[in-house]
Structure 1
């Protein structure tokens, strides 16, 4: 079951990485289009900047999920380096429980935020509701919570990112 769970987490990780990259590509395409329309055609399009903001929110939360799984998030390694193995394990459990609590908070209160703002329209995109803009909060919390559970299963609390485990972007 543990191996199967890790395989599923690998696929979720890959999907998050792909979607975050796709958001970045769309941002890189739409912002120059907006600048071109404004300064060359002298006719400003109203949608590129709000679209870039919405995609930046999605990209940020998905990238945070990827960074957490790859041990690329901000962490202080000084304290664990000075602890013996049982104390280091207890500290790892404590930190991951705190991380799980934070992610469950994001999930529960993020859902409430999405529900409260779901039917408020975004002026530049009347067919998109504000709640949709906040949807990455509970999704990011849920996905990171799944990766916290994976850490509990593997007991790898203070691993350094290894080059072969960090997502590699290929231009080939």
Structure 2
């Protein structure tokens, strides 16, 4: 009767288990859903503005080269929509962490310093968003009494997307920095090394178990001669 091999013990050099979405509390899950919903709303708004922008410039080309009557308002409205698309999409990209980054130095560091750099990056982004929101709001108030040519809309609308984008950066980046600093943010690909997981799951190697009743092979690993 063969004895089953002992259960594999975890590697002593394996890192401790990290925080995962399953460990989130009810308020944290509610916060994640609220932030995801907020980002999705602004993403849909940016997509709608992009569709309107394409339609406007299509009408601009048709009116200029076919009807010989250029719609002069199309360019001004297009510039306003471009500002909305750019800043709203940029804020959503910060929430989804899709912006380009130079991370070869950060990824070469151990897990602890890597987390500190991520927290510092989120804090810098949150402070930048706060400065953007405050200063652009002053610009909105300063230019609100002026009208956009050909649209008869307040000139301050051009700066309003900057204010909203700055506020979103404070919400998205600030909440992520706080949760990462407290160790309550699920690890992403920048903190999680797949090789660590393989080392943690791998146990000591054992010789393959021989089926009962089968005589062991000859020394040297050669297969037994089964000829009569």
TM-score by length of 2: 0.66
Please tell me whether residue 39 in structure 1 is matched to residue 65 in structure 2: yes
- The unaligned stretches of length 5 or more in structure 1 are 162-172
Q: Is the 8 A contact 1:62 1:140 kept in 2?
A: yes
Partner SS, residue 82 of structure 2 = helix
Look up the match of 1:95: 121
Q: How far 1:152 moved relative to its partner?
A: 2.3
Tell me which protein shows more strand as a share of its residues.
1
* 2:102 counterpart SS class: coil
- Which among 151, 165, 173 is matched to residue 125 of structure 1? 151
Residues 1:138 and 2:157 are matched in the alignment: no
Q: Which has the higher helix share?
A: 1
Contact 1:92–1:157 at 8 Å: present in 2 too?
Answer: no
- Find the aligned partners of 1:24 and 1:64 in 2 and give their Cα distance: 14
Q: Distance in 2 between matches of 1:22 and 1:145?
A: 24
Write the deviation string for residues 31-83 of structure 1: whole angstroms up to 9, x where unpaired.
01011111111111111111111001000001101111111112111111111
Aligned to 2:32: 6
Aligned residues: 160
Distance 1:122 1:96 in 2: 36
- The list of structure 1 runs, each at least 4 consecutive aligned residues, that deviate by more than 2 angstroms after superposition, is 152-161
C-alpha contact (below 8 Å) 1:89/1:157 kept by paired residues: no
Hey, what does 1:149 align to over in structure 2? 174
Does the Cα contact within 8 Å between 1:2 and 1:153 map onto a contact in 2?
no
Preserved CA contact (<8 Å) 1:65 1:140: yes
Give the conservation status (yes or no) of the 8 Å contact 1:71–1:160: no
* Higher RCO (C-alpha 8 Å, min separation 6): 2
CA distance in 1, matches of 2:116, 2:62: 56
Largest Rg, 1 or 2: 2
For normalisation by structure 1, the TM-score amounts to 0.87
List alignment gaps of at least 5 residues for structure 2. 1-26, 191-228
Distance in 2 between residues matched to 1:73 and 1:157, nearest whole Å: 19
The CA distance in 1 between the partners of 2:46 and 2:189, in whole Å, is: 23
Q: Distance in 1 between matches of 2:115 and 2:82?
A: 36
